[in-house]
Amino acid sequence: MSVAEHVSPLELADYQRAVRLLLAHPLITEVHPNRAALPLVRRWAAQLRSDLHELLGYRLVTTANTARLLRVQDDLDLTRPAVTRTDRPFDRRRYAYLVLTLAALGRSGTQIALSELAEAVAADATRIDGLGLDTERKPDRDAFVDAVTWLTERGALALADGSAADWASSPDGAEALYDIDREVVFAIYRPSRVLQHLGSVTGLLETDRGLVQGVHRVREAAARRARRLVLERPVVYYADVSESLRGQLRHPGLAEDLERLTGQAVERRAEGLALIDTSGRLSDIRFPSGGTPSQAALLLSTRIAAQVAEGKLPTMPAPTAAERTQAGAARIDAGLPLRGVVAELTVEEPGTEPEPEPAEGALYPFLTDAWLKGAMKELMSTYGSAFAVAWRGDPDRLLREALRLLSALGLVARVEGGVLALPLLARYRATTAEIKPRAAKEKT
């Protein structure tokens, strides 16, 4: 099958915009990510449904008010958390409140007051050891409002009157009233399997579960996974995948399919390949971009690249995809209930096939935490006047955020005692910076 085979050359760019929108925002509603998105996706729904299933194994479900892309999950990715309006990642409490809020909305009518919703969530949260929701506590109210705001941004709730921020500040003196879009509520929560039956988050990963049979079907499944890897990861290193996937990644048809599907170019290097998002509308992380953590990450990447160029660093293999998944699963599974209905219903899930060890010779330069802290202090001394005030007094926190960003982009790999510099980092070795001090009145 040819990608977008029924799309004329004059309309191809419009179709590719719809693809990028859907890949960047798996849930599209009348208001999220903008009001023009849903009509565009609905126009191309039939072609999108066919192409995304054939190439990637994804399912597109559309209703009158939503478009929901159901992805196939090959491995765990902890680099794309839900975030608040101030770009702070959700913690466990916020995730728990989000899920409990969805459950409460599923039992509600067409409107609900924020205080009423908080009472419903609090009743459920009280039955969960270590959670609870006490509306007398400001931190609990803030976490709950963050979950409600996340749903509001996606159209599950629409503010009809009042203010959630005012309620969070003074629940006795303020209120907020929301309209509920039940169609969006049900579109948001679409797990691929019954969660109560899983003993680990790895049960949500794609393992083919013995359904793929025959050489042709196995090859098709490998080709789809290879395409998904290139779309979902900032960079795919050959050393990080199995031999069969390396063959699929090197096949010229992969680049042709993805380039026609997305309108973006696939860049190949000796170590791997990456889809280059020149549109700025496909990637969930822009880099370089504005903001102190991104600027610090860019400057730090330049320092790391310069240190690597000197060639005097020890080397070691990077953690494999299987090791990263195992570590991520352990963090997530730590939140599983230890008793009750979940334990009673749990069934063992077949594990994913282990990824191979890195290819022979895939060793990467190692930089210690001590060196990284020293580099950040030097950057703070040189460029601190250009950083936001909130970051200037805490170089350790800024270093953590910069490394988190570089790790999410596949530029470095976190290991015990430091980081490994990965090949993509060399792209930024010649970066130069110009100091533009911030206005004196600026505080953030």
Question: Cα separation of 48 and 27, whole Å?
Answer: 14
- Return the pLDDT at 79: 77
Mean pLDDT value across the chain: 87
Q: What is the pLDDT of residue 168?
A: 95
Q: What is the rounded distance in angstroms from the CA atom of residue 190 to the CA atom of residue 67?
A: 12
pLDDT of residue 439: 57
| Structure tokens given for 294 | 């991104």
pLDDT the model gives residue 215: 59
Kindly report the three-state secondary structure assignment for every residue of 161-213.
EECHHHHHHCCCCCCEEEEECHHHHHHHCCCCCCHHHECCHHHHCCCCCCCCC
Q: Is 406 helix (H, G, I), strand (E, B) or coil?
A: helix
DSSP assignment of 212-260? --SHHHHHHHHHHHHHHHHHHSS-EEGGGS-HHHHHHHH-HHHHHHHHH
Q: Which among 414, 381, 386 has a CA at the least distance from the CA of 400?
A: 414
Q: Quick: pLDDT tens for 130-173.
A: 899 999 999 999 999 999 999 999 999 999 999 999 999 999 99
418-439 exposure pattern, b = at least 16 Cβ within 10 A, e = fewer: bbbbbbbbbebeeeeeeeeeee
Residue 339 is given by DSSP the state S
User: Residue 395 in contact with residue 384, Cβ under 8 Å?
Assistant: no
Helix, strand, or coil (residue 268): strand
Q: Which residue has the higher pLDDT, 279 or 302?
A: 302
Cα distance between residue 117 and residue 178, in whole Å: 10
Indicate whether 253 pLDDT > 90: yes
Q: Which of 186, 160, 178, 192 is nearest to 106 (CA)?
A: 186
Q: What percent of the chain has pLDDT over 70?
A: 89
What is the DSSP track for 291-314? SHHHHHHHHHHHHHHHHHHTT---
Asked whether 93 and 143 are in contact (CB, 8 A), the reply is yes
Helix (H, G, I), strand (E, B) or coil at 265: strand
pTM, 2 dp? 0.84
Instruction: Specify whether the CB–CB gap between 213 and 127 falls below 8 A.
Output: no
Residue 19 phi, psi dihedral angles, 5° rounding: -60, -50
Whether residue 279 is predicted with pLDDT greater than 60 in this model: the reply is: yes
Q: What confidence score (pLDDT) does residue 162 get?
A: 95
Structure tokens at 196: 């109560």
| pLDDT value of residue 63 | 92
pLDDT confidence bin for 81, thresholds 50/70/90? confident
The yes-or-no verdict on residue 210 having pLDDT over 50 is no
Rounded to 5 degrees, what angle do the CA atoms 112, 163, 391 make? 125
pLDDT of residue 434: 67
Give the pLDDT band (50/70/90) at residue 216. Answer: low
CB 141 within 8 A of CB 147: no
207 and 140 Cβ atoms separated by less than 8 Å: no
Q: Which residue has the higher pLDDT, 284 or 411?
A: 411
> Sign of dihedral through CA atoms 40, 77, 201, 320?
positive
Tracing tokens 């969530």 back to the chain, one arrives at 121
